[in-house]
Every structure is written in structure tokens, then in C-alpha cells.
């Protein structure tokens, strides 16, 4: 038996449901020595902004129990350089390319970036990062259902590409935001982005990150991420790309069972740059072992006692 | 396409205490050993199954010969302490070699000065080994090594540098060995006495030491290269976490700078390229 791992997200067809999370995979090149990039379900790029961004002061990362904090601040070369220098390489890989985009102050930039990306054939989908915690503007679009609705519906009008909205866990009610994105025409949801957090060097009484606060990722956030995926799965019809602390096959499986149609691996790429192909193999084995013909059967297959 | 970096399990050959909190790890790592340049580093997985600690630890390549690499390390926290428990025959997962490494000047008639502060000896011994290879082709090359340590007890690699034929000078903060004071004071004494042949300075150590060496190098008109440290999540250029501020060649405003990744564009930077800050 050869289990079918293929899935679709809107009009985006993926040969397998394992993606890499934005900001943890550079622009693909960084991993070419470690894996066959063709094996990936899709590549999600580091978030791109209209203009280049320098990002925050270092130190920008620190380790925490079963996780890490980052306050990169969306350092990226800007849309023009991205299109000129990064897209050709990414296009050659031959794996669906999902471009993550953001804007700090002017939501209009989401539109101009989306319009430009809409014209690039190699770009298969756009992920709206409305949930980056590392910007000066502390109020996130993803923390406000009305703002989420406004932005997603505007972008929806300028692109026919698959549209993914990336949600923040730093909210009181994740399903309100998810529903707003659904109503506005998003094709899928990515969740979760990092959880706000901080860490202190007690000897110096200084924050370990120069920006004081940052975003927590890694296994420590997995239970939070799973719960949110489960809640959103019950509330919306949209396919969910689940992420947060996936580090091996069992942890990826948890997300499918909770309701994800696909998963993205983030911090684990740093720990083991060869992890994604391992998880893809692991999913196949699990399906075979459990007589599952298509990975789609696993999505939301949680058995609750009644 | 040939791989420039490997990720693999490598067998531990030896892992012994050098003194106090300092250990030397020897690994059978032919692939890394044959590619490695001085100043490059590896990312070592210190956890085995439980992902604790989660992130890999960056360590300089201390020596690379005959299919082996050596790592000289200090126990600082959890990761390095776990490392001390690895026994010969066990395996460690490494990614490497990583980073740019020191660019060795033409094996021409240059003299080299190596300045190590504390653990900074780790990459510089490998560099000295390579410089000595050049030296055998050119007898005029002279390698001066300055080692700074807190106390005589913290001093590392004196013997190793000497057996390579380097001139070694030592400074300790408390005067328990050699010059009492900073290694940079000792360096300045020597620099002011060198009239001819502009040597290159290669250095590794604490940020404050690198900064004063940058000052001395510009004062004496010498090229100086330093290996930097930064907190690293990935070590392979993917996370943008390990940046330092450097000069922007295309700068328009006086305060313009660019962040460069210590793990990718570094860890070695020409010291006059670095913008020194409060952090
Ligand atoms: C390019 C490079 C080369 C290095 N080479 C050597 C070497 O040859 N020998 C050696 O003993 N040490 C070296 N270090 C420092 C070494 O990486 C740290 O001492 C080590 O990571 C400490 O881990 P720990 O778990 O024992 O300490 P902890 O303090 O518990 O570590 C907590 C976190 O902080 C990070 N961290 C702590 N100290 C440093 C540091 N100085 N630089 C960067 N990250 C740090 C750790 O990686 C970890 O993520 C190097 C660092 C870099 C960046
Ligand atoms: C260093 C780092 C940088 C990140 N940068 C981005 C980014 O640019 N855009 C984005 O949408 N998410 C970014 N993220 C969040 C991840 O995509 C992911 O949502 C989060 O880390 C949770 O997954 P994980 O626990 O598997 O890492 C970043 C995460 C890390 C650790
Ligand atoms: S440590 Fe990730 S980019 Fe350098």
C-alpha cells in the first residue's frame, strides 16, 4: 500500500503536507547541503516587506526551556531584491513557493507587494504575516477581527493566488480572528506564529534579548498551538497549516489529528536541518501502519470520549 | 554539486579534561577535517533524544588533521557539561565546517601576529598550524603569539604554540604568569618596536579585546582579522539571529550600517569593518 500524502489548499496542490515555517528556512539555499529540497511539500519564505528592513538590535535569540525566543524584527532584503536574487533559485527547486509578506505601519504595502507577487509565475501562494510580534507597532492586525477582515478582503481583491492568513496566538479568542479571515476570502490559515515572551539574565538583571521581549517557538509552545488548531478546526471550514513545536513525526501527527490539513516545521530546522524529509517518511510509515489511504483521513480524526 | 557542509554523526575518539573546566574533544570526522579552514566552526548537538538543550552549540575547530578534528571547550552551562560526558566510541551529531574562516595571506614574506584572549586560543591554534605549513615553504615567516588569560590556571595551549615554533608571549590579569595586565598592552609594546614588515593580526577573544586590537591595528596601519561570537540558533544562515553591525560599503548617511551574520559572513571579520557598540 502506498499512502497518498497529497493535499490541496485552495487551488494550491501539494504532493505532501509538510512545509517549512516562515523565517526558519531562509530562502531555501541555506539548506541545500542538508536535504533534497525537492522533497518538501512547499517552501514558505522568510517574510518579505516592500522596502528592505534591517531588523532589531542583537542579541536577537536566546534559548529557553524546550524552546527559544527570537526578536529578529523581519530583517529582509525587500521585495525588489527578493524578486531579483531569491526567486530564480526558489523557482528552480520545483517545489510550490509560498511567499510570506508583511508591513509594519502601512497596510497598503500588503496590497502593493501582493500585486507584484501576483504577476510572478513561480509564486504559488501568498501568506499574510499579520502576526509578527517583533515590530514596534505592538498592536497586531491579527489581534483584531475587524482589521483582519479589512486587510484580507483587500488583498483578496488584488490576487488570484492562494491566500493564507497567518494567525497569532497572542489573542483572547483565536476563532474570532479565524472566522474573520475566512469571511474575507482567505483560502487557508497558518497557525500559530510565536507566543510573546521574555527571558532575563539574573546576574546582570538584563533582558536576554536586546528588544526585551520576543517570540517563543519550539516544543514548549506545542500544546498551545495544538489547542488553537483544534478550536479553529471546529469553527471554520478552511484548511489549516498547523505549526508550533513540531520536532518529529509524532508531534506532526498530533497536528493532523487535531485538525490540520498540513503542517509546517520551524525551529526544528535549526536543531536538525534534515528533519522535514524524516517527518515525510514518518508520516508515510504511520499511514501504512494504520491502514490510512490518504493523509486527509487523519485531519481532525481526534477520538474524544463521549 | 559538491557539499560544502556536512551533517552527520561522528565518532568520539577522545574527550579529556585539559585542566579545570577545559576539555578537549577529538572526533573521527574525515569529511569535516579535509574541508576545514582555520576560523571555521561546527554546530554540535549536545542533547541526544529529549531535545534538551534544544539548540546546537557552536564550537571552533581547534585542529584538523588526518581525518580528525579537535574541539577545545570550556564548561559554561548545560550544553557544554553534557558534552563532557561523551565517551570514546559514542557519536555526536555535527554540522560543519561552517562560516568563512581566516583568510590566510599569501604565503609570502608577511609576519603574523596571533592574539588570543581566554578561549580565543581555540581557533588560533589551527590557524598557527596552517601558517606553519606555509612557513616551511618560506623560512622568513615569523609567527608571534600573544595569549591573555585570567590567571596561570586559565592559560591554554602555550606548549602547543611553542612546539609549532611560534614565539609565545603571555599576559595574565593577576600576573601569575608572564606580563601582569592585558594582552593588548603587551601587544602594543611589541607593535611599537616593529619597524619593518607590516604583520597581519589574527585574533579571537572577548569583544572588548577585539575592539582595542582594532584600535591598535588602525594606529599602526595593520590589517587585523578577528573571530566573533554571537548567540546562534541555526549556525547555517537561516534565522538571521547572529548578526553584528558592520560598515556599509554603499552607505549614504554617516550612521548607515549593515548587519552581517556571524555564522555565514563571519565568524571572521576584518576589524576595521566592524562597528563597535554598547551591546
Ligand atoms: C563561532 C563560535 C565559536 C565558538 N568556539 C568555542 C570554542 O572553541 N570553545 C568554547 O569553549 N566555546 C566556544 N564558543 C562559545 C560556546 O558556543 C558557548 O560557550 C556554548 O554555546 C555554551 O553552551 P552551554 O550550554 O554550556 O552554556 P549556556 O550558557 O547554558 O548556554 C545557553 C545558550 O547561550 C548560548 N551561549 C552561551 N555562551 C555563548 C557564547 N560565548 N557564544 C555564543 N553563544 C553562547 C548557548 O549556545 C546556548 O544557546 C564559540 C561560540 C561561537 C559563536
Ligand atoms: C528565528 C525565527 C524567525 C521567524 N520569522 C518569521 C517570519 O519572518 N514570518 C513569520 O510569519 N513567522 C516567523 N517565525 C515564526 C515561525 O514561522 C513559526 O510560526 C513559529 O516559530 C512556530 O513554529 P515552531 O515552534 O515550529 O518554530 C519565526 C520563527 C523563528 C524561530
Ligand atoms: S545563527 Fe542563524 S543566521 Fe546565524
* pLDDT on residue B279: 47
Task: Return the active site residues of A.
Answer: 132
Alpha-carbon gap, residue A58 to A44, rounded angstroms? 24
Kindly list the residues from chain A whose CB atom is less than 8 angstroms away from the CB atom of residue B244: 58
Cis peptide before A192 (omega within 30 of 0): yes
- Smallest Cβ–Cβ distance between A66 and the set B5, B51, B235 belongs to B51
Model confidence at B137: pLDDT above 70: no
* pLDDT on residue B109: 45
DSSP-based three-state secondary structure for B34 = helix
Note the helical H segments in chain B: 30-35, 78-84, 121-137, 158-163, 183-193, 207-219
Give pLDDT tens digits for A232-253.
999 999 999 999 999 999 999 9
- Mutate-to-test residue for ligand 1 from B17, B55, B79, highest number of ligand atoms within 8 A of CB: B79
- Residue A160 is placed in which grid cell? 488570484
- Mutate-to-test residue for ligand 2 from A19, A65, A193, A199, highest number of ligand atoms within 8 A of CB: A193
* pLDDT on residue B49: 67
Contact yes or no for B5 and A63 at CB 8 A:
no
* pLDDT on residue B48: 65
The predicted complex's ipTM stands at 0.94
Strand B68-74 relative to strand B91-98, pairing: unpaired
Model confidence at B19: pLDDT above 60: yes
Mean pLDDT lowest among A131-145, B90-104, B209-223: A131-145
Decide: A246 in ligand 2 pocket, CB within 6 A. Answer: yes
Kindly list the residues from chain A whose CB atom is less than 8 angstroms away from the CB atom of residue B55: 63, 68, 270-271
Give pLDDT tens digits for A4-14.
999 998 889 99
Decide: A22 in ligand 2 pocket, CB within 6 A. Answer: yes
* pLDDT on residue B249: 79
B162 CA to centre of ligand 1 in angstroms: 27
- Smallest Cβ–Cβ distance between A72 and the set B7, B236, B240 belongs to B240
Model confidence at B1: pLDDT above 80: no
Mean pLDDT, residues B119-143 taken together: 83
C-alpha distances in angstroms, A246 versus A17, B22, B44, B211?
Answer: 13, 35, 21, 41
* pLDDT on residue A105: 81
Alpha-carbon gap, residue A59 to A206, rounded angstroms? 12
Model confidence at B194: pLDDT above 90: no
Decide: B14 in ligand 3 pocket, CB within 6 A. Answer: no
Alpha-carbon gap, residue B126 to B132, rounded angstroms? 10
For residue B255, name the pLDDT band (cuts at 50, 70, 90): confident
**Interface with A, mutate which of B5, B239, B246, B248 (most A CBs under 10 A):** B239
For residue B256, name the pLDDT band (cuts at 50, 70, 90): confident
Question: Which class is A7-55+73-196+218-298 in CATH?
Answer: alpha beta
For residue B195, name the pLDDT band (cuts at 50, 70, 90): low
Alpha-carbon gap, residue B207 to A62, rounded angstroms? 19
- Is the pTM higher than 0.80? The answer reads yes
- Smallest Cβ–Cβ distance between B239 and the set A24, A59, A247 belongs to A24
- The A residues from 146 to 205 touching B (CB cutoff 8 Å) are none
Classify each residue of A125-152 as buried b or exposed e, where b means 16 or more C-beta atoms within 10 Å of its C-beta.
bbbbbbbbbbbeeeebbbbbbebbbebb
Give the orientation angle of helix A275-289 with respect to helix A249-258, to 10 degrees: 60
| Chain-centre distance for alpha carbon B223 | 17
Q: What is the signed CA dihedral for B2, B5, B6, B12, rounded to 10 degrees?
A: 130
Which residues sit opposite A78 in a β-bridge? none
Shortest CA distance from B9: residue in chain A: A272
Give pLDDT tens digits for B40-71.
999 999 986 677 899 999 999 999 999 999 99
Q: Which residues of chain A have pLDDT under 70?
A: 137-138, 306
Mean pLDDT, residues B203-225 taken together: 93
| Chain-centre distance for alpha carbon B92 | 21
Q: Could you write out the three-class secondary structure of chain A?
A: CCCECCEEECCEEECCCEEECCCCCCCCHHHCCCCCHHHCCEEECCCECCCCECCCCCCCEEEECCEEEECCCCCECCHHHHHHHHHHHHHHHCCCEEEEECCCCCCHHHHHHHHHHHCCCCEEEEEEECCCCCCCCCCCHHHCHHHHHHHHHHHHHHCCCEEEEECCCCCCCHHHHHHHHHHCCCCEEEECCCEEEECEECCCCEECCCCCEEEEECHHHHHHHHHHHHHHHHHCCCCEEECCCCCCHHHHHHHHHHCCCEEEECCHHHHCCCHHHHHHHHHHHHHHHCCCCEHHHHCCCCCCCC
Amino acid at each position: 500500500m502506498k499512502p497518498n500524502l497529497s493535499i490541496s489548499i485552495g487551488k494550491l496542490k501539494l504532493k505532501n503536507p509538510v512545509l517549512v515555517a516562515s523565517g526558519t528556512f531562509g530562502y531555501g539555499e541555506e539548506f541545500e547541503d542538508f536535504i533534497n529540497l525537492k522533497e518538501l511539500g512547499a517552501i514558505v519564505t522568510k517574510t518579505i516587506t516592500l522596502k528592505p528592513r534591517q531588523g532589531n538590535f542583537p542579541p536577537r535569540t536566546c534559548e529557553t526551556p524546550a524552546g527559544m525566543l527570537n526578536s529578529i524584527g523581519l530583517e529582509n532584503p525587500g521585495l525588489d531584491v527578493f524578486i531579483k536574487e531569491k526567486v530564480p533559485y526558489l523557482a528552480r527547486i520545483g517545489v510550490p513557493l509560498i511567499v510570506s509578506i508583511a508591513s509594519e505601519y502601512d497596510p497598503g504595502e500588503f496590497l502593493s507587494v501582493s500585486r507584484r507577487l501576483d504577476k510572478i509565475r513561480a509564486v504559488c501562494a501568498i501568506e499574510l504575516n499579520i502576526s509578527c510580534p517583533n515590530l514596534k507597532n505592538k498592536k497586531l492586525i491579527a489581534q483584531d477581527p475587524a482589521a483582519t477582515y479589512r486587510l484580507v478582503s483587500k488583498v483578496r481583491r488584488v490576487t488570484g493566488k492562494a491566500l493564507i492568513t497567518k494567525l497569532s496566538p497572542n489573542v483572547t479568542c483565536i476563532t474570532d480572528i479565524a472566522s474573520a479571515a475566512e469571511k474575507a476570502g482567505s483560502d487557508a490559515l497558518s497557525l500559530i506564529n510565536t507566543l510573546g515572551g521574555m527571558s532575563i539574565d539574573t546576574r546582570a538583571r538584563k533582558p536576554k534579548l536586546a528588544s526585551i521581549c520576543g517570540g517563543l517557538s519550539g516544543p514548549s509552545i506545542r500544546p498551545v498551538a495544538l489547542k488553537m488548531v483544534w478550536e479553529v478546526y471546529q469553527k471554520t471550514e478552511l484548511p489549516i497549516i498547523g505549526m508550533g513545536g513540531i520536532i518529529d513525526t509524532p508531534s506532526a501527527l498530533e497536528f493532523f489529528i487535531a485538525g490540520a490539513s498540513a503542517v509546517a516545521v520551524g525551529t526544528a530546522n535549526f536543531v536538525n536541518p534534515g528533519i522535514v524529509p524524516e517527518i515525510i517518511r514518518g508520516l508515510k510509515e504511520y499511514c501504512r501502519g494504520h491502514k490510512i489511504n490518504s493523509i486527509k483521513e487523519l485531519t481532525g480524526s481526534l477520538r474524544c470520549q463521549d | 554539486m559538491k557539499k560544502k557542509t556536512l551533517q552527520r554523526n561522528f565518532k568520539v575518539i577522545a574527550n579529556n579534561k585539559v585542566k579545570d573546566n577545559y576539555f578537549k574533544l577529538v572526533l573521527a570526522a574525515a569529511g569535516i577535517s579535509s574541508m576545514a579552514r582555520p576560523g571555521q566552526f561546527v554546530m554540535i548537538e549536545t542533547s541526544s533524544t529529549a531535545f534538551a538543550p534544544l539548540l546546537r552549540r557552536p564550537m571552533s575547530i581547534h585542529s584538523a588533521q588526518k581525518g580528525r578534528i579537535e574541539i577545545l571547550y570550556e564548561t559554561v552551562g548545560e550544553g557544554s557539561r553534557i558534552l563532557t560526558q561523551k565517551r570514546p566510541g559514542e557519536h555526536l551529531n555535527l554540522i560543519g565546517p561552517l562560516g568563512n574562516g581566516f583568510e590566510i595571506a599569501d604565503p609570502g614574506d608577511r609576519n603574523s601576529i596571533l592574539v588570543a584572549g581566554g578561549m580565543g586560543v581555540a581557533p588560533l591554534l589551527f590557524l598557527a598550524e596552517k601558517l606553519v605549513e606555509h612557513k616551511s615553504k618560506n623560512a622568513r615567516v615569523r609567527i608571534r603569539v600573544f595569549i591573555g588569560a585570567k590567571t596561570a590556571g586559565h592559560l591554554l595551549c602555550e606548549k602547543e604554540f611553542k612546539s609549532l615554533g611560534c614565539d609565545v608571549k603571555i599576559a595574565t590579569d593577576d600576573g601569575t604568569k608572564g606580563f601582569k595586565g592585558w594582552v593588548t598592552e603587551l601587544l602594543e609594546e611589541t607593535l611599537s618596536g616593529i619597524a619593518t614588515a607590516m604583520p597581519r593580526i589574527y585574533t579571537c577573544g572577548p569583544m572588548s579585546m577585539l575592539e582595542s586590537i582594532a584600535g591598535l591595528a588602525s594606529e599602526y596601519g595593520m590589517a587585523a582579522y578577528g573571530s566573533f561570537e554571537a548567540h546562534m540558533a541555526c549556525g547555517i544562515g537561516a534565522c538571521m539571529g547572529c548578526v553584528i553591525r558592520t560598515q556599509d560599503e554603499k552607505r549614504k548617511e554617516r550612521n548607515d550600517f549593515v548587519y552581517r551574520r556571524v555564522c555565514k559572513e563571519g565568524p571572521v571579520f576584518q576589524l576595521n569593518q566592524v562597528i563597535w557598540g554598547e551591546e
